[in-house]
Amino acid sequence: MKITFLGTGTSQGVPIIGSTHPVCLSKDKKDKRLRVSILVEWDNYTYVIDCGPDFRYQMLRAQCKNISGIIFTHEHSDHVLGFDDIRPFYFKQGDIPIYAHKRVIKALKKRFDYIFKSKNKYPGTPAVIINKIKNKPFKLNNLKVIPINGNHDGLQVFGYRFNDFAYLTDMKTMKDKEVEKLKGLKVLVVNALRIEPHRSHFNLDEALQFINRVNPEKTYLTHISHLLGFHEAVEKQLPETVFLAYDELQITV
């Protein structure tokens, strides 16, 4: 299984528009972060987790020619605003499968109502195949996927486990029974927003505590803001099995 980090930034991305913060002014490519998303590939299947405002450019940069579907973690703008840009895939492949909690599907229908119309659709509008996810395993082609239920400032959010790999973003708290689903991982990806505490995201200390609970072989941190610090400086301070993800990083699990 190959994982491509399409974006590793927080809701505003890094650099932030108009910011003079030193990290935003960094010349290091690893300090430039699009909104958070990954590409998951195995056999002949290619799935995207979340499609935020940078989705079009992320697909171009990754030279992604086909997608098997889009899996959503939750409905916040930095995770869904690129939804309209599925059109080239739709023109080429037909209806695009999407996978999400029923609440997220409802939010997408409200925000992108024209995509979900059954009659009198505007020419060129894409269409989707809806798959509602509950907190129980489901099949993506030949692979079992296990949803991981978490809390994001009172909002339910899903992470996902694919065999020995799991992807979690926008997490703040998680029940012990959900943490148990993550045991035995080779690779964990989890959010670490900044140094200071935040009401709806793990800060760095909380992420490291969570990693100790899960005890994976290796962890990559994502959903990173400029307030976490420079990539090079932060990575030197991390435990030897924990790394900062960065845009366009590819790993194999």
Q: What is the pLDDT of residues 29-58, one digit of tens each?
A: 999 999 999 999 999 999 999 999 999 999
What is the rounded CA–CA span in Å between residue 86 and residue 225? 27
208: left (phi over 0), alpha (psi -120 to 50) or beta: alpha
Number of domains in the chain: 1
Q: What global pTM score does this model have?
A: 0.97
CATH label of the domain that carries residue 109: 3.60.15.10
- pLDDT value at residue 87: 97
Q: What is the mean pLDDT of residues 140-166?
A: 97
From residue 21, alpha-carbon distances to 9, 28, 32, 143, 235 in Å are 15, 14, 13, 43, 19
What is the rounded CA–CA span in Å between residue 147 and residue 37? 16
Q: Which residue has the higher pLDDT, 123 or 193?
A: 193
From residue 40, alpha-carbon distances to 49, 172, 229, 245 in Å are 8, 24, 27, 15
Is pLDDT above 90 for 10? yes
Is pLDDT above 90 for 123? no
Write out the residue range of the structural domain in which residue 206 sits.
2-252
Residues 6+ apart with CB under 8 A from 177: none
- pLDDT value at residue 163: 97
Q: What is the mean pLDDT of residues 220-237?
A: 98
User: What is the side-by-side order of every strand in the sheet holding 250-252?
Assistant: 128-132, 96-100, 69-71, 45-49, 37-42, 2-7, 250-252
> What's 224's DSSP letter?
B
Cross-strand partners of 147: 160
Strand bridging mode 128-132 / 96-100: parallel
CA 164 to chain centre: 17
Q: What is the mean pLDDT of residues 10-21?
A: 98
What is the rounded CA–CA span in Å between residue 202 and residue 1? 27
Is pLDDT above 90 for 128? yes
* Residue 190: band (very low, low, confident or very high) from pLDDT cuts 50, 70, 90: very high
Print burial letters for 154-181: b (CB count within 10 Å at least 16), e (below 16).
eeebbbbbbeebbbbbbbbebeeebeeb
Q: What is the mean pLDDT of residues 59-83?
A: 98
CA 25 to chain centre: 25
Q: What is the mean pLDDT of residues 187-193?
A: 98
Q: Which amino acid is at 200?
A: S
- Helix, coil or strand: residue 31: helix
